[in-house]
């Protein structure tokens, strides 16, 4: 549409004795400007839409990772609890071997807890990111609607002026 409007505007500009030449030229200029604005709006909407999807996918992955890490921690915790019970119920030469196992289980539990905390932090960051993207999208929608209303109002004024 832009190319057609520009070509038509050029052809109308060449005509020397055309009635209402300035009116047609102005109308075509308005069409060109609205087309450019529309293209910018479409690009902004598509950019926000795809970014939002990516942010939501990252949030889902972070939530799944958080749940997985929590399950791993629960398993390590129960394993540690069983190892402590075995250590308390055992005696003699097995105690030294069980001490090593108990320390290993404690280390695994601490590592699992650290991973849970890291996954929770990642999840919080993703939640914040998604909220920011949603707010940006809402602001963009508001701006687009405002611009659209302004454009419709200008078109109405142009049509009324022509009549």
Note the residue count of the chain: 163
Q: What is the pLDDT of residue 121?
A: 94
Residue 41: which of 155, 148, 131 has the closest Cα?
A: 148
Residue 150 neighbours by CB under 8 Å, 6+ apart: none
pLDDT at residue 66 is higher than 80 = yes
Segment 60-84 shows an average pLDDT of 91
Closest residue by Cα to residue 13 from 22, 4, 2, 1 = 22
pLDDT (tens digit, 9 = 90+) per residue, 100-115? 888 888 899 999 999 9
Residue 77 has pLDDT above 80, yes or no: yes
Burial (CB < 10 A; 0-12, 13-18, 19+), residue 109, is: buried
> Mean pLDDT across the chain, nearest whole number?
83
In the chain, what are the domains? 2-7+24-162 (1.20.1270.60)
């Amino acid at each position: 549409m832009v190319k057609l409007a520009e070509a038509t505007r050029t052809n109308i500009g060449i005509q020397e004795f055309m009635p209402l030449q300035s009116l047609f030229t102005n109308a075509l200029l308005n069409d060109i400007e609205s087309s450019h604005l529309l293209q910018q709006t479409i690009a902004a909407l598509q950019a926000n839409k795809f970014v939002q999807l990516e942010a939501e996918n990252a949030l889902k992955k972070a939530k799944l990772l958080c749940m997985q890490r929590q399950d791993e921690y629960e398993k390590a915790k129960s394993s540690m609890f069983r190892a402590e019970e075995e250590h308390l119920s055992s005696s003699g030469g097995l105690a030294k071997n069980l001490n090593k196992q108990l320390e290993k289980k404690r280390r695994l539990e601490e590592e699992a807890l650290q991973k849970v905390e890291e996954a929770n932090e990642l999840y919080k960051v993703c939640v914040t990111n998604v909220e920011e993207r949603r707010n940006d999208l809402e602001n963009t929608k508001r701006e687009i609607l405002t611009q659209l209303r302004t454009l419709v109002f200008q078109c109405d004024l142009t049509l009324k002026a022509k009549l």
